[in-house]
Structure 1
Amino acid sequence: MPTISRFYGIVILMYWNDHAPPHFHALYGEDEGVVALDSLALIRGHLPHRAMNMVVEWAEQHSRELEEDWELCRSRQMPNKIEPLG
């Protein structure tokens, strides 16, 4: 599971050849949330409100890069790193 980005204790991951819909995993402490790329909604798991807000802000800034990384992971290629939330 490649790490795409890290910021403020949040780790963003994508799994190789993962199932649809397109999404990424966000880890924060003991919590994990699965976030849909199209709506940026939490589709599984849990993240604290503040962490989720930062994840959404970051994903809005990097939506195109996330879509590219999703396609790379679907074809079992290493995704590109994405700049952290600044």
Structure 2
Amino acid sequence: MPTLSIFFGIIVRMWHDDHPPPHIHVEYQGFEALVNIATGQISEGDLPRKVAAIIKEWCQVHQSELQANWLRAQRFEPLERIQGADRD
């Protein structure tokens, strides 16, 4: 599964040809969750409250990049890295 971004120990990934709605896979210190790209809300799994808030804001800031990667993933094209919330 391609890694889109890593920041503050949070790993954000996206699968090729994954099921709708558009989402990302987030991992943090043993926690795992699926996060809706459009809303930044957790749809499955669990994350610590602070991490969930960081991811929600990150999704809002990078909405267009995430949507573009989702479309690439559906076409089995390479995905592009996205700048982390720590600006790395």
Name the TM tier (shorter chain).
Answer: over 0.9
Question: Which residue matches 2:40?
Answer: 40
Question: Which residue matches 1:17?
Answer: 17
Question: Which residue matches 1:75?
Answer: 75
CA distance in 2, matches of 1:59, 1:37: 6
Classify the secondary structure of the residue corresponding to 2:79.
coil
TM-score, reference length from structure 2:
0.94
Question: Which residue matches 1:65?
Answer: 65
Classify the secondary structure of the residue corresponding to 1:19.
coil
Classify the secondary structure of the residue corresponding to 2:4.
strand
Identity of aligned residues (%): 31
Q: Once the 2 structures are TM-superposed, how far is the Cα of residue 64 of structure 1 from its aligned partner?
A: 0.3
Q: When the two structures are aligned, how many residues end up with a matched partner? A: 86
Q: What do you get for the CA RMSD once the two structures are aligned?
A: 0.7
Q: Once the 2 structures are TM-superposed, how far is the Cα of residue 31 of structure 1 from its aligned partner?
A: 0.5
Aligned residue identity for 2:7: F
Question: Which residue matches 1:54?
Answer: 54
Q: Once the 2 structures are TM-superposed, how far is the Cα of residue 7 of structure 1 from its aligned partner?
A: 0.3
Q: Deviations over 1:43-74 (max 9, x none)?
A: 00000001111111111110000000001111
CA distance in 2, matches of 1:21, 1:81: 21
- Structure 2, unaligned runs of 5 or more: none
Q: Once the 2 structures are TM-superposed, how far is the Cα of residue 78 of structure 1 from its aligned partner?
A: 1.2
